[in-house]
Amino acid sequence: MNNQIELYDIYSTWHVPFWQTKWFYWTTIGFILALCIAALFSFYQWYRKKQKRTTTPWDAALTIITQLQNKQYATQQDGKQCYYTLTSVIKTYLQNRFSFPVAHKTDEQVARYLDTIELDMKIKRNVQSILRGCLLIKFANEQAVNEQIQEHLKLAQELVITTIPQKPDQTKSAPTS
- Condensed to tens digits (0 to 9), the pLDDT of residues 103-158 reads 889 988 988 898 898 888 888 888 888 888 887 777 766 666 778 888 889 999 99
> What's the rounded Cα separation, in Å, for the pair 63 and 129?
21
Sign of the C-alpha dihedral computed for residues 135, 140, 146 and 147 taken in this order: negative
19-66 pLDDT, tens digit each: 889 999 999 999 999 999 999 999 999 988 887 667 889 999 999 999
The pLDDT value recorded for residue 80 is 86
Please compute the mean of the pLDDT values over residues 86-99 and round it to a whole number: 92
pLDDT at 162 exceeding the cut of 60 = yes
First and final C-alpha spacing in the chain? 130
The per-residue pLDDT for 62 is: 94
Residue 3 has pLDDT above 80, yes or no: no
CA distance 93 to 159: 10
Average pLDDT for 158-177: 68
